[in-house]
A and B are shown apart, each in its own frame.
Chain A
Amino acid sequence: MEGKKLNGNESVVRLENLKKSFEINGEDVQIINGINLDIKKNEFIVLFGAGQCGKTTLLKMIAGLEDITDGNIYINDKKSSGFNEDVGMVYQTTALFPWLSVMGNVEFGPKHRGAAKSERRKKAQYYIDLVGLSGFEKHFPVQLSGGMQQRVGIARAYANDPEIILMDEPFGHLDAQTRYLMEEDVEKIWAREKRTVIFVTNNIEEALYLADRIIILTECPATVMKEYVIDLPRPRSMVSEEFLRLREEISRLADARESEAG
């Protein structure tokens, strides 16, 4: 299915008939089957899918962590292959460097891209403050709660100044209360800092709360099933009539998709 074509000049990420297959026991297993997608500058895109199939792989391909089997990824109209300094990522497992302090983690990107110490400290401090971790600069990841660790991950991605930030189910391991707080904060940070965000989740409320546009993916192999443009005013109420209606509709769609796959 074709992704909806948006204003081409503004496109920051463009996926063109993107395919991915892995060789498993000598057999090619297709994970992603021809995804087309145009993502505008500063858009908050949510990839929504319940299955285990394709979403993380898709983000990893955009980040340069996985090879492309077929098709193309364009970032700022340039064909992308491998790592790209315009792309940052927040991981499901937080994936912090355990031997580095909060400050060490957040300044990692700027440091290895050659920023001077005072400059990168200032920038890292700004994002540490922004995610609400002031005072924890010298703590090691192991000393922080799961939610705080994920805040470090978000600060680390932003501090590297990428135009595009990929978030791979970043709150999947958090309890409901923490998760809700994190969603609020991610939205606040995004509203303030802007950036193009591609966010993967299998939680409908999370998708509806955050997204400008929800891309619903099919079960394996993943393709675009349907997309919703969400233009509810922000910050959104999770109990507004329109929110609940969309939730109901997407939920029914997801159920249908699962029974089809099952």
Chain B
Amino acid sequence: MKFKLSGKSIQAVVLGTLGILSFFIIWQLTCIFTKFGTIFPTPPEVAAGMIRGFIEPIGSVTLLGHIGISLGRVLVGYTLSSVLGTLVGLLMGASRLGKAILYPIFNIIKPIPGIAWIPIAIMWLGIGNATIYFIIFVGGFSQMVMNVMSGASNVDQELVGVARVLGLKKNHVFLTIILPSCVPYIFTGLQVSLSTSWMAVLAAEMITATSGCGWLILAGMQSGIMLNNVLGMIAIGFIGLVLATLMRMLERRLCSWKERN
């Protein structure tokens, strides 16, 4: 296998590492020389806490358990918002009647952030997973609808004509032309709504859960164990990064026709 490192990329790696190192050094020094250290763990303590967290439970489950629980909740809410958001977006983008009926009400609901729905959701669905799914769903849904709708209403009408001249039947236009034209827009929606969903699960867990990364952060603060708070934050950052990267890889595979090699 060939692996080439140009001068520029070596420089980038060195500088990047330098930045990360100085962050930890400043953190460590702050803990040693200021009052901050009396309640806040140092980097080595966090590292040790993380290893311990993977073995011993924090609250009901281990750190890995909390991550798994949050991911599971996101998966349910995100899948719901992706599927329904795509369908509604297609309906609004491809059908004039659909848009006429749905667009005004959608525009009223769209600016309300997912978190604002928490009290109503708790009243409707009680404290627990159903409410969390709902909050995640609300967060991702409008992002999805907006993107898919703009994709479906920007379909190149010339291509529809081209396809018809080539013999495509009218009732096949949707699946053969409109849907593939929308794929890049669907992916933009999936990407944006994934980060929204990940934020929504944390907010929801802080209020209505006894497990998950969001609960970890809040519980850490409330019980004065800042270590747990930091562990929750690290887990969130790491998972967010992994999810975004996975999504970008999938997009590169499915939308390769958009890019010039």
Interface residues of A (CB under 8 A from B): 60, 63-65, 83, 85, 87-89, 91, 93, 95, 97-100, 108-109, 112-113, 140-143, 156, 160
30 contacts between A and B (CB under 8 A): A60-B161, A64-B165, A65-B165, A83-B165, A88-B165, A91-B158, A91-B162, A95-B162, A97-B159, A97-B162, A97-B163, A97-B177, A97-B180, A98-B257, A98-B258, A99-B180, A99-B183, A108-B166, A108-B168, A109-B166, A109-B167, A112-B167, A112-B172, A113-B167, A142-B257, A142-B259, A143-B260, A143-B261, A160-B166, A160-B167
B62 on the A face (CB < 8 A): no
Task: Determine whether the beta carbon of A142 is less than 8 Å from that of B162.
Answer: no
Task: Determine whether the beta carbon of A85 is less than 8 Å from that of B167.
Answer: yes
Interface residues of B (CB under 8 A from A): 158-159, 161-169, 172, 176-177, 180-181, 183, 256-261
Bound form: Cα–Cα A60–B164 in Å: 12
Chain B residues positioned under 8 Å from A83 (CB to CB): 164-165, 167
Bound form: Cα–Cα A100–B259 in Å: 13
Bound form: Cα–Cα A56–B170 in Å: 23
Task: Determine whether the beta carbon of A156 is less than 8 Å from that of B261.
Answer: no
Task: Determine whether the beta carbon of A112 is less than 8 Å from that of B176.
Answer: yes
The residue in chain A whose Cβ has the minimal distance to the Cβ of B183 is A99
Task: Determine whether the beta carbon of B256 is less than 8 Å from that of A87.
Answer: no
Bound form: Cα–Cα A141–B257 in Å: 8
Chain A residues positioned under 8 Å from B165 (CB to CB): 63-65, 83, 87-89
The residue in chain B whose Cβ has the minimal distance to the Cβ of A65 is B161
The residue in chain A whose Cβ has the minimal distance to the Cβ of B169 is A112
Task: Determine whether the beta carbon of A89 is less than 8 Å from that of B162.
Answer: yes
Task: Determine whether the beta carbon of B257 is less than 8 Å from that of A108.
Answer: no
Bound form: Cα–Cα A65–B168 in Å: 13
B145–chain A nearest beta-carbon distance, Å = 22
Q: A98-B258, A99-B181 are in contact. List 13 more A-B contacts (CB 8 A).
A: A87-B165, A88-B165, A89-B162, A98-B257, A99-B180, A99-B257, A108-B163, A113-B167, A140-B256, A140-B257, A142-B257, A142-B258, A160-B166
